[in-house]
Structure 1
């Protein structure tokens, strides 16, 4: 009977891999940029500082076995889109698609992002490659893979950081580097070179 059980397990896995994508997932393409409201401990601070509900961002890769998201969490990882979407507050998601880029360029950007898999999350929002935060990963992946840098670099003190002094001291210590330049999920979401494919955030775009 053992061969029969093994055959059934194999058949089930084959059917799961070949199952058609449905709903929003069926509309996704490799290279799409996806954002949501994270449930992480730092999400509210990011939302307040950027005046946006969007606090996390990743990149889509569509394969024969479904849609995945490459994201910088702890550590940088590749996760099924369905699980990534469910992690966001109320399942809300914004899907953006780069305009004027070929499928090959978008694939190269995703490949560039995947080169950072396993790296730790950068809690200090630095710009080195030894650790990554979510919007840094997306900006660098497209810059390196397709020659386009989405979002813009902003100084920390240009954001709405008033009232976040305690959180900043916990992260940086006594001296908060207000001159630090970083890219935020909200900045990427606002980039007009990205076309809206789907939005559960009508007030954002």
Structure 2
């Protein structure tokens, strides 16, 4: 006769393992559930980098990093401007953010705009930035590039759409001590207040986007 305690323990273990699959393998499936991810989706997080707090304070937003989602085969990647510009597996990208929190946004008319040819053009534009250094001084040139600038330029040059309103550095709130310290570190006494910039907050708040996922 089988031991009922051992039998129950085996059944419980089987059920538990079925309910809780391997952690690294289920992040994408959870993200994909109900509202499938699509090529060209934008994803936002609170970065844990040294400059994140300064960006949040200056832009009055909790979001300090962002990228573009692309699918390759069965895997999802985030095309992002870090050091250097590259594709990062989606699971790694999410895990790198504060508390694993994220928001995914999409063009309201993505089905009409993000055609196969438009996506090819966007990837072609993006390929021109791959491997470039991260722009620590947020200059509006293609020599180096930062996260929201990458999104803005890929979309603008690939589809003609401007995702987020361009601004001047002088229009951000530069009064917080953390911001002043970071500005001093990056620019010394020559802060380029007239520099054109696009912040993660401006992209996030674009009226062209709608939120499709968040946690």
Q: How would you bin the TM-score normalised by the shorter chain?
A: 0.7 to 0.9
Contact kept in structure 2, 1:31 and 1:107, CA below 8 Å: no
Q: Does 1:24 align with 2:36?
A: no
Q: CA deviation at 1:102?
A: 2.8
Pairwise CA distance, 1:169: 1.4
Tell me which residue corresponds to 2:142: 129
Out of 143, 151, 158, which is 2:171 matched to? 158
SS at 2:136 equivalent: coil
Q: CA deviation at 1:95?
A: 0.4
Kindly report structure 1 stretches of 4+ aligned residues shifted beyond 3 Å. Answer: none
Other-structure match for 2:14: none
Name the TM-score, length of structure 1 as normaliser: 0.84
Tell me which moved more, 156-165 or 37-46. 156-165
* Secondary structure, aligned partner of 2:39: coil
- Give the superposed CA RMSD: 1.6
Q: How many residues align?
A: 182
Contact 2:107/2:208 (8 A) holds in 1: yes
Name the CA distance, whole Å, in 2 between partners of 1:137 and 1:97.
Answer: 16
Range moving further from structure 2, 86-95 or 19-28: 19-28
- The question of 1:94 aligning with 2:85 is answered no
Pair 1:194 & 2:209 matched: yes
Matches within 5 A, 1:36-75: 36-75=45-84
Q: Give the CA deviation at 1:135.
A: 0.4
Counterpart residue number, 2:8:
none
Task: State the TM-score, normalized to the length of structure 2.
Answer: 0.80
CA contact (8 A) 1:58 1:70 kept: yes
Cα offset, 1:56, TM superposition: 0.2
Q: SS state of the match for residue 55, structure 2? A: helix
Aligned residue in 1 for 2:188: 173
Q: Is the 8 A contact 1:61 1:110 kept in 2?
A: no
1:63 Cα deviation (Å)? 1.8
Q: SS of the counterpart of 2:133? A: coil
Q: Mean alpha-carbon deviation: is it higher for 136-145 or for 162-171?
A: 162-171
TM superposition shift of 1:109: 1.9
Rg bigger for which structure?
2
* Equivalent residue, structure 2, for 1:138: 151
Structure 1 unaligned blocks of 5 or more: 1-18, 201-205
Q: Distance in 1 between matches of 2:201 and 2:120?
A: 23
